[in-house]
């Protein structure tokens, strides 16, 4: 089923990504237990909340990036109509990246951390990540340069890869002024998510839609220019909604507020665009589950990243909600809707082909999808309710942190319940992907 031999390298990226997906969700469940119950101090001393959170967030980034890398290596040969420039570089990149990720997780257990939230990987390991990123950029760039034909999808992938590598550099140095340090910290945290990663999303989603629908390339690419332009236009300046309260000039209240309000627009266009392509498709639906994931990606992206982001990044609202569980609600819905589902679209597109399966039995996968989606909706809503309660208690009534926490315990236990359901959906999905079988005739 694969068209080029070098596509096989994607199998190892995608397989490792699925394993880290399970680890990330398991750590999230442990964090929910920390919130929901008072744990013995001896246990906390051995395995602290900070350590668990570092593993949770960094394995999130790792499996997302592995999915992007594997997806890129799977679709590039098809898009460029040639083999990858170097399979050896792809394997070396995987070895460096995976080795660094494992070393970082082990290091977290022993307190070896940079200390920056979400960027805890120590500086020596940062340099290895940069080496892996440079290998990725070089391999993708050379594959595209040597291709006989050019396309917007190729250049968008290359732009995403390059943007990703460059932005990571701004999270490596320390600045004596904490305000300055956080100013550049957001260049990684925000501009990865709403800049570089959006380029991956647009390019990969466009390619898969072209492949499975048979819609004319020029139609998809026309929308791709519009959506990507809006993503970058609103996302880059929208970084300002992180600058409200860190000592930056007050003009960011206007710039951040206005452009953050515009950020749902390209996501809404993506939903409309996807629906149009589905209606105008020329190819039959071979694997309905893949279609379900494509529509889930578009709709959940709009709900989690677009709507929930819009609601609480307006300055008058964010003044009260910043750093509360409302942010956690938005984060979970946005990451799952925009990027976890994107990776799962890639997995369900690529892994059947890597196994030589045209139409697969999707019964367990359907259960996995709806279990994850339903649980995540409840998780997002419950975190939102807890955040509203927290905002009222801490920032309206001016009660203490512990008082607010005790009043939120019920909601954290509800999150734990739905988190366990979500994990069951993840395990069903991962097992299904690793054991894909041909559908019965």
DSSP collapsed to 3 states, 260-300? HHHCHHHHHHHHHHHHHHHHCCCCCCCCHHHHHHHHHHHHH
* Residue 212 confidence (pLDDT): 83
- 23 within domain boundaries: yes
pLDDT digits (tens, 9 = 90+) for 77-116: 999 999 999 999 999 999 999 999 999 999 999 989 988 8
- Rounded Cα–Cα distance for residues 85 and 93 (Å): 13
In a domain, 321, yes or no: no
137 part of a folded domain:
yes
Do residues 40 and 48 lie in contact, with contact meaning Cβ atoms separated by under 8 Å? no
Q: Tell the burial category of 120 from Cβ atoms under 10 Å away from its Cβ (0-12, 13-18, 19+).
A: buried
* pLDDT tens per residue across span 387-415: 999 999 999 999 998 899 899 999 999 99
**What's the domain range around 129?**
1-150
Q: What is the pLDDT of residue 338?
A: 84
Cα–Cα distance for residue pair 13/84, rounded to 1 Å: 15
The pLDDT assigned to 271 comes to 63
| Angle in degrees, CA 174, 62, 269, rounded to 5 | 100
pLDDT of residue 337: 87
CB neighbours of 87 closer than 8 A, spacing ≥ 6? Answer: 6, 9
pLDDT in tens, 235-282: 788 888 888 888 888 888 888 777 776 766 666 676 676 677 667 666
SS3 sequence, 81-92?
Answer: CCCCCCHHHHHH
The predicted structure's pLDDT at residue 273 = 67
Q: Which residues touch 130 (CB under 8 Å, ≥6 apart)?
A: 165, 168, 169
Portion of the chain with pLDDT greater than 70, in percent: 96
Q: What is the mean pLDDT of the chain?
A: 89
Within-domain flag for 298: no
The number of domains in the chain is: 1
| Residue at 109 is within a domain | yes
Q: What is the pLDDT of residue 83?
A: 93
From the list 344, 439, 251, the residue with the least C-alpha distance to 64 is 344
- Residue 73 belongs to some domain of the structure: yes
The confidence score (pLDDT) of residue 136 equals 96
365: Cα within 13 Å, side-chain hemisphere? 22
Q: Does residue 313 form part of some domain?
A: no
Q: Are 300 and 373 in contact (CB under 8 A)?
A: yes
List the chain residues with pLDDT less than 70.
Answer: 261, 263-268, 270-271, 273-274, 277-278, 280-282, 441
Q: Alpha helix locations (H) across 81-151?
A: 87-109, 123-145
Helix (H, G, I), strand (E, B) or coil at 151: coil
pTM over 0.75: yes
Which of 13, 111, 22, 84 lies closest to 59 in space, CA to CA? 22
Residue 212 inside a domain? The answer is no
């Amino acid at each position: 089923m694969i068209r080029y031999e070098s596509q096989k390298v994607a199998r190892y990226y995608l397989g490792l990504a699925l394993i880290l997906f399970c680890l990330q969700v398991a750590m999230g469940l442990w964090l929910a237990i920390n919130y929901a119950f008072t744990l013995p101090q001896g246990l906390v001393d051995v395995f602290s909340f900070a350590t668990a959170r570092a593993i949770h967030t960094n394995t999130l980034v790792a499996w997302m990036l592995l999915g992007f890398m594997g997806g890129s290596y799977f679709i590039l040969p098809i898009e460029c109509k040639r083999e990858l420039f170097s399979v050896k570089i792809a394997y070396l990149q995987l070895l460096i990246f995976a080795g660094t990720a494992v070393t970082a997780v082990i290091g977290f257990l022993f307190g070896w951390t940079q200390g920056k939230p979400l960027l805890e990987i120590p500086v020596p390991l940062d340099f290895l990540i940069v080496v892996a990123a440079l290998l990725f950029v070089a391999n993708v760039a050379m594959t595209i340069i040597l291709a006989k034909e050019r396309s917007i999808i190729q250049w968008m992938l290359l732009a995403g890869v390059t943007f990703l590598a460059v932005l990571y550099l701004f999270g490596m140095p320390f600045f004596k002024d904490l305000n300055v340090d956080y100013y550049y910290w957001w260049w990684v945290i925000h501009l990865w998510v709403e800049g570089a990663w959006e380029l991956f999303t647009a390019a990969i989603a466009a390619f898969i839609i072209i492949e499975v629908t048979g819609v004319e390339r020029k139609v998809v690419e026309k929308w791709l220019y519009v959506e990507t332009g809006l993503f970058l236009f609103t996302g880059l300046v929208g970084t300002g909604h992180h600058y409200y309260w860190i000592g930056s000039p007050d003009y960011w209240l206007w710039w951040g507020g206005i452009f953050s309000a515009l950020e749902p627009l390209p996501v809404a266009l993506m939903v409309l665009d996807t629906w149009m392509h589905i209606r105008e498709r020329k190819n039959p639906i071979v694997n309905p589950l893949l279609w379900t994931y494509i529509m889930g990606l578009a709709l959940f992206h709009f709900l989690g990243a677009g709507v929930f982001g819009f609601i609480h990044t307006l300055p008058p609202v964010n003044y009260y909600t910043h750093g509360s569980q409302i942010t956690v609600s938005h984060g979970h819905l946005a990451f799952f809707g925009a990027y976890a589902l994107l990776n799962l679209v890639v997995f369900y597109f690529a892994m059947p082909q890597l196994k030589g399966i045209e139409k697969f039995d999707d019964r367990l996968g359907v259960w996995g999808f709806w279990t994850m989606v339903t649980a995540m909706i409840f998780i997002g809503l419950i975190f939102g309710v807890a955040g509203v309660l927290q905002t009222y208690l801490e920032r309206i009534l001016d009660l203490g942190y512990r008082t607010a926490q005790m009043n939120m315990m019920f909601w954290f236990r509800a999150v734990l319940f739905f988190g366990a359901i979500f994990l069951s959906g993840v395990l069903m999905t991962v097992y299904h992907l690793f054991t894909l079988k041909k559908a019965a005739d």
